[in-house]
Chain A
Amino acid sequence: QKEVEQNSGPLSVPEGAIASLNCTYSDRGSQSFFWYRQYSGKSPELIMSIYSNGDKEDGRFTAQLNKASQYVSLLIRDSQPSDSATYLCAVRADMRFGAGTRLTVKP
C-alpha cells in the first residue's frame, strides 16, 4: 500500500518562529512533491512544488526533499497568524495526499 504520512498535529508555534512540517512517503518511484495550504472549509492551494533533492526556497517557505530517505519537509520562517491552516503533503506519482498537519501560529 503506497502511503503518504504526516504528523496530524496540531502544531503550535509562536509568531515569528520557524514552523517545520514533515511528510514521509512509501513509493520510491515518486518524482513530484507538493505542499498545499488549506484554510478551514476552503479548497487546497499550492504553496510549493519540488522535484529534485535538496532545498527550494520561495519567500518565507522552504521545501526540502530527500528521496533516499523518502521524506519531504516544509519550513515556514517568521511564522504569521495568517499561516494558521492545515498543510497537505502530496506525492504525485499516485495522486496521494497526506492527512495534513494543522498549524496554529499564536500572536
Chain B
Amino acid sequence: EAQVTQNPRYLITVTGKKLTVTCSQNMNHEYMSWYRQDPGLGLRQIYYSMNVEVTDKGDVPEGYKVSRKEKRNFPLILESPSPNQTSLYFCASSLSGGAGSYEQYFGPGTRLTVT
C-alpha cells in the first residue's frame, strides 16, 4: 500500500529534550516536506526537500532541523523543543516539486505537546 508514515503519532515531552519525528514514504517520491498546523493558521511549511541531500527552509524553520540521506526518509529534529512548538505536524511527499509538480500525499500526523 502506497503511504506516508510518521512516528510517533503522539508525543508529550519537556522543554529542551531533543526529539526526532520520523517520516517515511514508499512511493519513490522525490519531494518531501514538513508542515505544522495550528488553529487559525492553517498548514505552514517548516522544511522541504527536493531530493536526497537537498533541503531548504520553508516559512517557519526556526527551532527545527531536517536531513534527507535516503530518498524514502525525511526526519524532523527538534534539538531543544519549546512550548511554542506544541502543534500538529504533518509530513508529506510528492512525485516532484517545483512549478510543474504534483499533489502531495500526507502522513497521519504527529501531535506534539511540549511542557
Chain A proximity of B76: nearest CB distance (Å): 15
What's the count of A-B pairs with C-beta under 8 Å?
50
Within 8 Å by CB of A43, from B45, B97, B103, B106, lies B106
Query: Could you say which residues of chain B place their CB within 8 Å of the CB of A31?
Result: 99-100
User: Interface stretch among A61-69, A75-83, A87-95?
Assistant: A87-95
**Does A97 touch B at the CB level, under 8 Å?**
yes
User: Interface stretch among B22-30, B36-44, B66-74, B78-86?
Assistant: B36-44
Query: Could you say which residues of chain A place their CB within 8 Å of the CB of B108?
Result: 42-43
Known: A42-B109, A43-B109, A44-B90. A49 touches B103 (CB 8 A): yes
Q: Size range of the interface on A? A: 20 to 34
Q: Is the CB of A44 within 8 A of B43?
A: yes
Within 8 Å by CB of A29, from B44, B90, B99, lies B99
Q: Is the CB of A95 within 8 A of B109?
A: no
Within 8 Å by CB of A92, from B42, B88, B101, lies B101
Q: Is the CB of A99 within 8 A of B42?
A: yes
Question: Complex: how many Å from CA A95 to CA B88?
Answer: 18
Interface residues of B (CB under 8 A from A): 33, 35, 40-45, 48, 58-59, 88, 90, 97, 99-109
